[in-house]
């Protein structure tokens, strides 16, 4: 597998799987305005994924388009981080999952605006406007719920206990990340990590949330090793394309 192709899949799969998760909220949001916000963020994520799949298909050179890359792979071929495949849970779970991802995604795409790849730079520059809104939305809700009522604070603490173990994978560089850095395509995650943790700590302080002491991170998603939730996501997401081959977005 070509390294740049696999790297583009990582970026695209993060957007697609998180977008799929957020789309499950459509019609079920706590209030109409936030129902629409979640749906719009889902559309943004999937739109970003589509651009990346198109680029990945060009790099691969095997004639696979964005539909085939998005919808006709098995679980171990997806390269998304474990965080984005976690279940929605209650609204606080979804908000915290989104924030932990957005804080990383904003730093990552900011750095990608300096990528050696002209196409990656263009995708990053266009996506960054949307990602900036995502981060503002999710961070404001983390503070609102964390520093809200006793019940909302308790639910955010619960979400933090459940999701914290998945945050570290986002900023932990592996061989592919280092290869992309050396070749000038991807950012230096070792430099991104301190900014990521600093942003999280500042937001948690405003939200009156206590960061867990645990620093052991779940990992494997970026290599195609996923949890049980991934199979259910793909079964629902891929059903139409597999049942009626050749459908297009």
- Using a 10 angstrom Cβ sphere, with 0-12 exposed, 13-18 middle and 19 or more buried, the burial of residue 139 is buried
Q: Alpha carbon of 210 to those of 107, 153, 202, 224: distances in Å?
A: 23, 11, 11, 31
| Residue 249 confidence (pLDDT) | 58
Residue 105's contacts (CB-CB under 8 Å, 6 or more residues apart) are 14, 131, 134, 135
| Residue 16 confidence (pLDDT) | 98
Q: Alpha carbon of 132 to those of 127, 234, 246: distances in Å?
A: 9, 28, 35
| Residue 246 confidence (pLDDT) | 75
Q: What pTM did the predictor assign?
A: 0.96
Question: Do 54 and 16 form a contact (C-beta atoms < 8 A)?
Answer: no
Ordered per-residue pLDDT tens for the chain, 249 residues? 699 999 999 999 999 999 999 999 999 988 988 989 999 999 999 999 999 999 999 999 999 999 999 999 999 999 999 999 999 999 999 999 999 999 999 999 999 999 999 999 999 999 999 999 999 999 999 999 999 999 999 999 999 999 999 999 999 999 999 999 999 999 999 999 999 999 999 999 999 999 898 888 999 999 999 999 999 999 999 988 888 887 665
Would you say the C-alpha torsion 175, 180, 183, 189 has a positive or negative sign?
negative
List phi, psi (to 5°) of 89: 60, -145
| Residue 215 confidence (pLDDT) | 81
The three-state (H, E, C) secondary structure of the chain, written as one string: CCHHHHHHHHHHHHHHHHHHHHHCCCCCCCCHHHHHHHHHHHHHHHHHHHHHHHHHHHHHCCCCCHHHHHHCCCHHHCCCCHHHHCCCCCHHHHHHHHHHHHHHHHHHHHHHCCCCCHHHHHHHHHHHHHHHHHHHHHHHHHHHHHCCCHHHHHHHHHHHHHHHHHCHHHHCCCHHHHHHHHHCCCCCHHHHHHHHHHHHHHHHHHHCCCCCCCCCCCCCHHHCCCCHHHHHHHHHHHHHHHHCCCCCC
CA 88 to chain CA mean position, Å: 13
Would you say the C-alpha torsion 195, 143, 157, 27 has a positive or negative sign?
negative
């Amino acid at each position: 597998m070509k390294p740049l192709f696999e790297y583009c899949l990582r970026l695209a799969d993060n957007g697609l799987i998180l977008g799929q998760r957020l789309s499950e909220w459509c019609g079920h949001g706590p209030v109409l305005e936030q129902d629409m916000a979640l749906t719009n963020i889902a559309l943004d994520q999937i739109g970003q994924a589509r651009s990346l799949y198109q680029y990945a298909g060009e790099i691969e050179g095997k004639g696979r388009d964005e539909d085939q890359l998005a919808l006709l792979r098995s679980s171990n071929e997806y390269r998304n981080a474990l965080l984005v495949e976690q279940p929605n849970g209650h609204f606080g779970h979804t908000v915290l999952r989104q924030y932990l991802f957005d804080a990383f995604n904003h730093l990552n795409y900011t750095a990608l605006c300096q990528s050696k790849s002209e196409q990656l730079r263009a995708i990053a520059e266009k996506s960054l406007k949307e990602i900036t809104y995502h981060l503002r939305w999710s961070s404001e809700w983390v503070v609102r719920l964390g520093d809200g009522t006793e019940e909302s604070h308790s639910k955010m603490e619960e979400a933090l206990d459940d999701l914290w173990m998945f945050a570290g994978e986002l900023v932990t560089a592996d061989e592919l990340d280092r290869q992309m850095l050396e070749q000038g395509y991807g950012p230096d995650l070792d430099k991104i990590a301190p900014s990521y943790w600093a942003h999280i700590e500042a937001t948690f302080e405003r939200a009156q949330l206590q960061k867990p002491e645990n620093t052991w991170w779940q990992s494997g998603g970026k290599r195609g090793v996923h949890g049980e939730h991934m199979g259910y996501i793909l079964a629902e997401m891929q059903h139409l394309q597999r049942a009626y081959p050749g459908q297009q977005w």
